[in-house]
Amino acid sequence: MAASEKNLRICSQGHKYYKSSDCPTCPTCEQERKPENGFLSLLSAPARRALENNGIYSLKTLSKYSEKEILQFHGMGPASLPKLRSALKENGLTFRS
């Protein structure tokens, strides 16, 4: 399989980056947006965006969802679930059954 050709892109903030996909997300902007602490800081950018795009910014809100529902969000993968379970447990919460 041939490697995908990467195209130079410039985001609205002026960052230059190369991407082979149609994804418009600037990696530099995403790194600058990453929280320094809290459960969202434990996640990859796609997983973090998946939660944010569904209005989940707190563990209390996260606990209202089942693991199955969370995995259905675009960008959320099974590797993020142990991190989320741990964060919930540390705060006396769990995913909805």
Bridge partners for 16 per DSSP:
10
Enter the tokens of residue 14. 């002026």
CB 47 within 8 A of CB 80: yes
Of all residues in the chain, the percent with pLDDT exceeding 90 is 62
27 shares its domain with 51: no
Asked if residue 94 and residue 49 are part of one domain, the reply reads yes
pTM: 0.74
Q: Give per-residue pLDDT as tens, 31-41.
A: 777 778 899 99
82 is in which domain, residue-wise? 36-97
**Residue 30 confidence (pLDDT):** 77
Report CA 16 to chain centroid distance, whole Å: 22
To the nearest whole percent, how much of the chain has pLDDT over 70?
Answer: 97
What's the rounded Cα separation, in Å, for the pair 57 and 26? 21
- Asked if 86 and 49 sit in the same domain, the reply is yes
Total domains in the fold of the chain: 2
Q: Residue 70: pLDDT band by 50, 70, 90 thresholds?
A: very high
Compute the CA torsion angle 36, 44, 17, 29 (nearest 10 deg).
-30
Same domain, 91 and 48: yes
17-31, 49-63, 76-90: segment of lowest average pLDDT? 17-31
